Structure 1
Amino acid sequence: MESNEILAAILNSAVIASMITALFSKAQSDKSAKIDNIIKERKAWRDKLRELVAEVETYTQEQNLKGIASAEARLVVLLNPVDRDDLAIIKALNKIPAGWDKECLQEFMDRVSYLLKHDWERAKQETTTRISPQTLALASFFLFLVIITSERTLLEWNDVHDLNLKCKNS
């Protein structure tokens, strides 16, 4: 290989490495923005649910029907209106005034607890990187093969082109 070809290969590799680095930096930046915005909002949502459960417990002890109705109104806007598990939470809350017993309250608290746990696990999963080291290594190897193949093809094309020029000049 001539020194020009070696320099071209090094420059091509550097450009591609820079592009890969830029892509991963962008992915990391997007992930940070998601964590800062979405995850913080979901934490606030979980905190509101916890506070609401504590209020419902107090309203149950006081047998405060207006308090339960107020809690239901706030709960309805915090939950998904088409999710059957979320609707079951509201139904469990509505059972409490029927007898003001601990079992209905416990069912309500258990259902909210499961929802909070599910959301917490989902939040943890969303903050993890989805690109494994194996995937990164495989992508880098594939890129290396593409570079080598394209440089080889370019060199072969240049040899043919140079040969054609020599034939025309002869």
Structure 2
Amino acid sequence: MDATVLTAILSSSVIAAIISGIVAKKTNDKNMSLKYITEERANWRKTVKENTALLYNQIYSKDQDEGRIRELITHLIVSLNPSKDEESKLDIEIKNTLVAIEEGNRDYKMLEHLRNCISILMKHDWERSKNETKGFGDKKSEDDIKQQTLGEEFYVKQKKQEMQ
């Protein structure tokens, strides 16, 4: 085997090893980031569920603690991402419901509405988290997930408004 062939083979091997190393690092970085984000979102869902349950407990308790109720409502509101665009329609609805509860509207229908909205939010975030862990070909579009989880009240109406 002459030197040029040996040099070419070695050069190709070195280039392949470098490219393989770069791809492995990028894949590892992406997986670590995805793992971190997924864990943080799981913690967020757990916190929202726990605070909602504690809020219900306080409201239905014989010894209501208004300070604790306001604290839980504040924790829930700051855990949301409401903005003024249509993408945040559900977050805005939850925030408005929490404000109404804070102002004293604690009838069964208001509390049931809060529970339903929080349930929709949890389902939506869970489906998004599951989707992010899927491979490229298996992923659903954001619109599909929104339509599947947010339903007519928080998604279809939004789509109709966008079409107008």
| Pairwise TM-score range, normalised by the shorter structure | 0.5 to 0.7
1:115 deviates by 1.5
How far has the Cα of 1:69 moved from its partner?
2.4
Q: Deviation digits for residues 24-80 of structure 1, max 9, x if unmatched? A: 211232124314433222221111101011112223323747244222211121111
Q: Which runs of 5+ in 1 are unaligned?
A: 133-170
1:46 touches 1:116 (CA, 8 Å); kept in 2?
yes
Per-residue CA deviation, residues 105-150 of structure 1 (Å, 9 max, x unaligned), is 2221121122222222222333345599xxxxxxxxxxxxxxxxxx
Uncovered stretches (5+) of structure 2, i.e. residues with no partner: 139-164
Counting only pairs closer than 5 Å after superposition, residues 18-167 of structure 1 correspond to structure 2 as 18-62=17-61, 64=64, 66=66, 67-82=68-83, 83-96=88-101, 97-101=104-108, 103-130=109-136
How many residues are matched?
130
Report which structure shows greater RCO (CA 8 Å, sep ≥6). Answer: 1
Identity among equivalent pairs (%):
32
Give the structure-2-normalised TM-score: 0.64
Q: Which has the higher helix share?
A: 1
- State the superposition RMSD in angstroms: 2.8
Deviation sequence 1:68-115 (CA, Å, 0-9, x none): 4222211121111313321211222344442521x3222211211222
Contact 1:89 1:112 in 2 (8 A): yes
Distance in 2, Cα, partners of 1:109 & 1:65: 20
Q: TM-score, normalised by structure 1?
A: 0.62
Q: Structure 2 vs 1, CA of residues 89 and 116 (structure 1 numbering), >3 Å: closer, same or farther? A: same
Q: Is the 8 A contact 1:39 1:123 kept in 2?
A: yes
